[in-house]
A and B are shown apart, each in its own frame.
Chain A
Amino acid sequence: GAVVSQHPSWVICKSGTSVKIECRSLDFQATTMFWYRQFPKQSLMLMATSNEGSKATYEQGVEKDKFLINHASLTLSTLTVTSAHPEDSSFYICSAYRAYNNEQFFGPGTRLTVL
């Protein structure tokens, strides 16, 4: 299957700082990428849909000013957690949609810990 990478794989930051997470589709162009959040022992929760060249669409209850999403190219989407707080500590996972076969490929995830 296609490869989706995330960087960094883990990050620890102080409360109040901002953290950027990158999601890249390595071997195909993805017009649409998705961002999920997963708390311990819970399922994945869709946060937003990221479309190349346009504004992201956020799920209900997700603060768009806190979770900034940029999808500037067909292979890169970024999620910036602004003014992070301990409750933002979570496992963040991206996925990339390949229209060719209506498939979605997930990245390995980024573990964010806010102290």
Chain B
Amino acid sequence: DAKTTQPPSMDCAEGRAANLPCNHSTISGNEYVYWYRQIHSQGPQYIIHGLKNNETNEMASLIITEDRKSSTLILPHATLRDTAVYYCIVRANTGNQFYFGTGTSLTVIP
């Protein structure tokens, strides 16, 4: 079962930072936070993942609170192509299965 809560939808102006929150208050010590996104009628695309430290890659930054009960995905300069459903998933490193929640539908507005 999904163990995350995300707002169902968000808008962001093109060129601005998009901040997508995720609540995972029951996360266990060995569980990672993963972010994927799905553009309409395509398979999910990996964005980033982390355990407790903040992470950054060429796509996004992941900020995890100190108590690890929530996190925020940051797209620094949103473009129209970032319009997608963003999924936050928690998963133990020893397990392989991903259980998707409902995700956040992000719309980037020109």
Interface residues of A (CB under 8 A from B): 1, 4, 6, 32, 34, 36, 43-46, 49, 91, 93, 95, 97, 102-109, 111
Contact = CB atoms under 8 A, between A and B. Distances in A.
Interface stretch (B17-25, B67-75, B96-104): B96-104
A3 to B, nearest CB: 11
A4 B42 CA distance: 12
Tell me if A's interface is mostly helix, strand, loop or mixed. strand
Interface residues of B, number: 19
Tell me if B's interface is mostly helix, strand, loop or mixed. loop
B100 A43 contact: yes
B98 A104 contact: yes
Given A43-B87, A43-B103, A106 B45 contact: yes
22 contacts: A4-B43, A34-B97, A43-B2, A43-B87, A43-B101, A43-B102, A44-B100, A45-B100, A91-B41, A93-B43, A93-B44, A95-B43, A102-B93, A104-B96, A105-B46, A106-B36, A106-B43, A107-B43, A109-B41, A109-B42, A109-B43, A111-B41
